[in-house]
Amino acid sequence: MFCFRENTRQTSHGRNNLELLDINGDENLKFLLKGGELVKIRSGSWQKTRFFKLQDDCKTLWHESKKTLNKNQTYSIDNVESVRMGRQSEGLNKYTDPSVERRCFTITFKNQQKNLDLMAASEENAKQWVNSLEKVINKMQNLSHQQKTEHWFLACIQKADKNADNMISLKELKHFLKQINIEVDDTYAADIFRKCDESNSGTLEGPEIKKFYELLTKREEIYVIYGTYAKTEGQMTANDLLNFLLNEQREKASIEDAVKLIQKYEVDGTAKEKNLMTKDGFLMYMTHEDSSIFNPAHKNMYQDMTQPLNHYYISSSHNTYLMEDQLKGPSSTEAYIKALMKSCRCVELDCWDGPNGEPIIYHGYTLTSKILFRDVIQAIKTYAFKTSPYPVILSLENHCTVDQQKLMAHYMISILGDALVTKPLSRTMPTTFPSPEELKGRFLIKGKRLNKLDDVFTNNNTIVQDAVSEEDEAAEENEQKSKPKKTKIKLAKELSDLVIYCKSVHFNSFQHAKDQQAFYEMSSFKESKAFNLAETSATAFMHHNMDKLSRIYPAGSRTDSSNYNPVPMWNVGCQIVALNFQTPCKEMYLNQGRFLPNGFCGYILKPEFQRNLSSQFNPNTLTKGPWLKKKNFHVMVISAQQLPKLKDKAKSIVDPFVKVEIHGVPADNAKKQTHHIDNNGFNPMWNERFSFDIHVPDLAMVQFVVEDYDSTSLNDFIGQYSLPLSSVQNGYRHIPLLTKRGDIISSAKVFVHLILLDAK
């Protein structure tokens, strides 16, 4: 595979990556490698033809550029989030005519990089581009860890081969080692080089590069584990593997399970026939998703989805329309698409009167840009159920006049159609919420309602026309932008009638809510109010959430769109804990981790003690009850592999350390960290043990954060992974690492040993 022959760079590197992706000779790939002209669209006046092609590494899309300083522009396939056919972006929708719908497509990216809006010469050509790109992206995403490592290695070797002669000199080898995040002295580099240069030619090529790869990626720590359990002439039988699964991994496994693993991961045909697992097969198994920290049984939907809606934590976004800060950041339909594609199930629409009678969405009284309400509804309709089938709540913050409210109602009815819930699901007045299962594929509107829901069944059209005072949540949410003068907003009946299960009401007290409010009447709490209630009246707050929905939102003073810690809110059973999805931060990492299990569907069933009215659970003062299941959580941080270099410190080698944090009830919150390793981001080794006492494991989350140590300034973030403690697998496990934006860092992993035991 790693043969650098005396041939062209394209044939050599290209063939290696084609073989790895298993698409050599594929027509779609040939099409991309050949390339073609597309119109790149930036505005109404900037629409220019450029030549695009996939580079020979099969992971970089290139196009010519007319810029003097930047003749070539490239886009990493690893960084592509999606390829959308049609005019499915704000830019294409705005700057192209509907007649070219089928010729257009958009490439979106995982980071903050701008969309690439493109138009092909014909519908057939556009389809070929989209299908071909999707095929290569899909192949890249589904490579095994070992294949990703090999692919990454090939790309790095290609970069290091400065003179393009398909051979690696000692100088190029040193450059390569620095590029992959290892600082070595000249003597060590020369020693590695000498070991691999079997031909004594002064360069590495062909099998010598393969030997260098094997030497570099050797996992001594895994081979030690293998040696402990491989009891049959240095190889592992099915019984040996079963012994490892039962005693080390603490899995419920049978001899049949062990045989299946051997058949799935063993790379040596002869060993596979004898049901033996070699060292290489064991390494393949240990680096695969089956050996990940995340319990595979929790990857798909596994929870009961037939409970009332308020029995679930619901992934929720605040100021969903914003891409950046709350003062001057851009508003965009793209922000809604990104949130929905991350399985966000409650989005916010901040609605204001716009020109030409058209309602708009933006952060009122600020310099944030404006988008049309109807465009947002259309985007929501298109993307709401791409990643999750469960209901989406549209949280309306309404500042519009009656005429524009009527238009809002018209757009929601006409665009969302039958998917919009416009009346209770039952024929009689409901007393509890329907379930996520009953609401599959449906939209719920959250907002003010002029009359009671009971009136739907009595034909009573009596309404309270003095509608909405500044006391309502709209004004509360926008204290930093609202006019100081108290105002009243009339509410259009057409909009009011669309509010069925999520009627916004002002919160007075838990007792008042219990005595006076129906189950469908819900309040929104500013973070300071919510945190105070969670501190002083935790059990009452939890009981309130057993009957009703609560929405928590960030303080208006967070003009930088920062976030509060969502964990204390989940601890008292709040469902709609709304965060700024556009802001990468620790709080969003926890949110992503909370909703990682159950098929990443945006709904997580709350623990039984947060749903049972007899429960007296208080997260702040733990008493005996079904929530108290004391555990000892033992963590050994062993090593890491292929940590990325920091973009703004490209010449520097990272000095990594690992933080292990528990987030849950106050008694469980804890943080511990390893020492840092100097100048090694490729294969640092720590072998450090930590122990945590856990009181309420059902609410605990574990977070692993890798940072670059800096003695003179703040440590730099490298990657993180968060998940509920209940979804953690015991034993030797690999932890994938995610970027700030929540995307997988290809090849990078942390290797740990974990044991969760009942406390004595």
Which residues are part of the catalytic machinery? Answer: 318, 363
CA angle 618, 622, 625 (to 5 degrees): 85
The answer to whether residues 354 and 403 touch, using CB atoms and an 8 Å cutoff, is no
Residue 51 assigned ligand-binding role: yes
Q: Is 606 annotated as a binding residue?
A: no
> Mind giving me the DSSP string for 658-712?
EEEEEESSGGG-EEEEPPP-TTBSSS-EEEEEEEEEES-GGG-EEEEEEEE--SS
> What element of type H or E holds 294?
none
User: What does the alpha-carbon distance between residue 340 and residue 346 come to, in Å, rounded to a whole number?
Assistant: 9
CA neighbor of 551 nearest in space, from 316, 353, 233, 221: 316
653 assigned binding-site residue: yes
The dihedral through the CA atoms of 584, 588, 590, 595 has a sign that is negative
Could you tell me what percentage of the chain is helix, strand and coil, using 3-state DSSP and rounding each to the nearest 5? 35, 25, 40
Determine if residue 66 is labeled as part of a ligand binding site.
yes
Please indicate if the annotation marks 524 as binding a ligand. Answer: yes
Instruction: Give the total residue count for the chain.
Output: 760
> Is residue 49 marked as binding?
yes
43 is in an annotated binding site: yes
According to the annotation, is 557 in a ligand binding site?
Answer: no
Was 289 annotated as part of a binding site?
Answer: no
Calculate the alpha carbon distances from 257 to 121, 242, 275, 667 in Å.
53, 8, 12, 39
348 among annotated binding-site residues? yes
Annotated binding residue at 53?
yes
The answer to whether the annotation marks 57 as part of a ligand binding site is yes
Total Cβ atoms within 10 A of residue 524: 25
754 is annotated as contributing to ligand binding: no
> Is 589 assigned to a binding site?
no
* DSSP state letters, 345-408: -EEEEEEE--GGG--EES-TTSS---EEHHHHHHHHHHHTTSS--S-EEEEEEE---HHHHHHH
- Determine if residue 63 is labeled as part of a ligand binding site: yes
Instruction: State both tokens at 194.
Output: 């000498």
- Is residue 679 annotated as involved in ligand binding? yes
Scored b (16 or more CB within 10 A) or e, 155-183 reads bebbebbeeeebbbbbebbbbbbbebbbb
Query: Which pairs count as long-range contacts for 59-65, CB under 8 Å and 24+ apart, including other chains?
Result: 59/17, 59/140, 59/151, 59/155, 61/107, 61/133, 63/38
110 is in an annotated binding site: no
Name the 3-class secondary structure at 553.
Answer: strand
First-to-last CA distance in the chain? Answer: 53
Judge whether 586 is annotated as a binding position. Answer: no
Return the number of other C-beta atoms located less than 10 Å from residue 37's C-beta: 13
Q: How many CB atoms lie within 10 A of CB 328?
A: 12
**52 annotated to a ligand binding site:** yes
663 is in an annotated binding site: no
488 labeled part of a ligand binding site: no
Q: State yes or no: 698 annotated in a binding site.
A: no
CA pseudo-torsion sign 368, 373, 378, 384: positive
Give 703's strand partners.
661, 722
How would you classify the pairing of strands 701-708 and 716-724? antiparallel
Q: Is 59 annotated in some ligand binding site?
A: yes
Q: Is 446 annotated as a binding residue?
A: yes
> Is 338 within any annotated ligand binding site?
no
Distances (CA, A) of 148 to 2, 312, 452, 510, 750: 14, 37, 58, 54, 15
Structure tokens at 48: 């220019």
627 known member of a binding site: no
Give the pair of three-digit tokens for residue 302: 């596994």
The answer to the question of whether 452 is labelled as a binding residue is: no
Q: Please, what's the b/e burial string for 70-99 (b: 16 or more CB within 10 A of its CB; e: otherwise)?
A: eeeeebbbbbbbbbbbbbbbbbbbebbeee
DSSP-assigned letters across all residues of 30-98: HHHHH-EEEEEESSSS-EEEEEEEE-TTSSEEEEE---SS-SEEEEEGGGEEEEEESS-SHHHHHHS-G
Helix pair 238-247, 220-229: axis angle to 10 deg: 110
Is 328 annotated to bind a ligand? Reply is no
| Phi, psi (rounded to 5 degrees) for 185 | -80, 165
Binding residue per annotation — 56?
Answer: yes
438 is annotated as contributing to ligand binding: no
Q: Residue 52 CB: number of other CB atoms within 10 A?
A: 20
45 annotated as belonging to a binding site for a ligand: yes
**617 labeled binding residue:** no
- What is the SS3 string spanning 504-552? ECCCCCHHHHHHHCCCCEEEEEEHHHHHHHHHHCHHHHHHHHHHCCEEE
Joined tokens for residue 711: 């003695």
Does residue 531 have a known ligand-binding role? no
55 annotated binding-site participant: yes
- 317 annotated binding-site participant: no
Q: Which positions make up the binding site?
A: 40-67, 319, 348, 350, 397, 446, 448, 524, 551, 653, 655, 679, 708-710
Q: Which positions make up the binding site for Ca(2+)?
A: 319, 348, 350, 397, 653, 655, 679, 708-710
Q: Which positions make up the binding site for substrate?
A: 40-67, 446, 448, 524, 551
